[in-house]
Amino acid sequence: MKVAKFGGTSVASAEQIKKVAAIVAEDQDRKVIVVSAPGKRDSEDTKVTDLLIQLGETVLQKGEAEKELQEVINRYDDIAEGLGLGKDIIATIEADLRERVQFDLSRPESFMDLIKASGEDNNAKLIAAYFQKEGLNAIYLNPLDAGLYVSDEPGNAQVLPEAYEHLSKLRQREEIIVFPGFFGYSKEGTLVTFSRGGSDITGSILAAGVKADLYENFTDVDSVFAANPKIIDNPVKIKKMTYREMRELSYAGFSVFHDEALFPAFRNGIPVCVKNTNNPSSSGTMIIAEREYFLNPVIGIAADEGFATIYVRKYLMNREVGFGRKLLEILEDEGLSYEHMPSGIDDTSVILRQEQLTDEIEERITARINDELCVDDVYVERDFAMVMIVGEGMHNTIGISARATAALTRANVNIEMINQGSSEVSLILGIHASDADRTVRELYQEFFGGADETVQ
């Protein structure tokens, strides 16, 4: 059995959904189909999810949003017309949307979850109707009916363990199941969404639940690339990579997967294949538990911006018992999470996402660090980027760090921080955000300059 998830660009129009139907029809093992909301049809277009966010926010502000509601209905109407479906499916979608906007507005977070999730939910209904029209034995299945139970955390749902037992029963169904991504239900029956990009999470959960032989993630690229194609012209394609490598690269800005998406599949040993809806014959990228890495210790390079660093200096810091704990407690009191914490004997740096660090919070924590820890100096710098070099083979290969620092020297880029995780799957370089693209180009040239079209 295969679980196949189709992303927003794969289901953005009637033409794309026809491709999806052909892909499903050609392989009878594709039994569970997870779909996103319609994405952009072109670079000037707007995703349905963004239209729904605008709809929900307008309802919260004004109590009604007929113009915005009609814009969403029109998108589905265009798709249905292109697929030769009758008006019944659009009447169903319109009735659903009008019912959702009547939800209790005194619970705005739950209201917004309900509105946003309609993108995937109604697209699944429409796609199931088209599959049936094309002669496929397909049904739409709502996550509540399937037993996809999650924690009641609007916008950040976590799957509950008992959900897997319910989902395992789907393996016995004869039909092709069309399942909306992005949301589940609390035990009390409240709709709750995963974090954005969560259709990937739904697909991974379902693959784990039915114990699929393969989880296919269809998108608009032939494979995962060794670097961002927006920065590197024609980067090499990755043929095979491990779950850990994908997780590290997702964290550092790779946009193929939400960075939590693979965990259910990983925990259950289910391989994942990234494939292209527009070129399904391409082998794609296989994400597996282990791979041979002697040919290429480095699998990819990624960069992510938007970091700030809190620098703390105190003479004999290394001899003060509990200093690190007290420092992190101050951040905890402000609800801040940190990413890295490289240290010396008299200084330490705490690196965190700067979106968490408002001017008021920065002022409070620097004052507390000064007063409570009696430091010699504390200050904050913003606008850093983290560049990540990733590969399972790095820990058995001499000279990776030397090659990386030499590349940055050639690019005239100053390294503010260097950190290698205990797993030795990644090497992280902290630099100024303005140097990020130049750094990725130089590192790519160093590690992949003479590589073939694919790397494995």
List the binding residues: 5-8, 49, 120, 219-220
Interatomic CA distance for residues 96 and 118, integer angstroms: 8
Residue pointed to by tokens 């030769």: 84
Interatomic CA distance for residues 278 and 286, integer angstroms: 18
Instruction: Write the burial class of residue 83 (CB in 10 Å: 0-12 exposed, 13-18 middle, 19+ buried).
Output: buried
Question: Phi and psi for 388 in degrees, rounded to 5?
Answer: -120, 125
Interatomic CA distance for residues 66 and 421, integer angstroms: 52
Residue numbers belonging to the annotated binding site for ATP = 5-8, 219-220
Alpha-carbon Rg for the chain, nearest whole angstrom, is 24
Are the beta carbons of 179 and 37 closer than 8 angstroms?
A: no
123: its two tokens: 């697209």
Q: Determine the residue type at 266.
A: F
C-beta neighbour count of 406 within 10 angstroms: 13
CA of residue 420 relative to chain centroid, distance: 23
Residue numbers belonging to the annotated binding site for substrate = 49, 120
212: its two tokens: 């699929």
- How far apart, in Å, do the first and last CA atoms of the chain sit? 26
Task: Check the CA dihedral 323-328-329-333 and report its sign.
Answer: positive
Per DSSP, 389 falls in state E
Q: Determine the residue type at 113.
A: D
List CB contacts of 133: < 8 A, sequence separation 6 or more: 83, 84, 85
Are the beta carbons of 369 and 327 closer than 8 angstroms?
A: yes
Residue pointed to by tokens 């370089």: 429
List CB contacts of 234: < 8 A, sequence separation 6 or more: none
Name the 3-class secondary structure at 237. strand
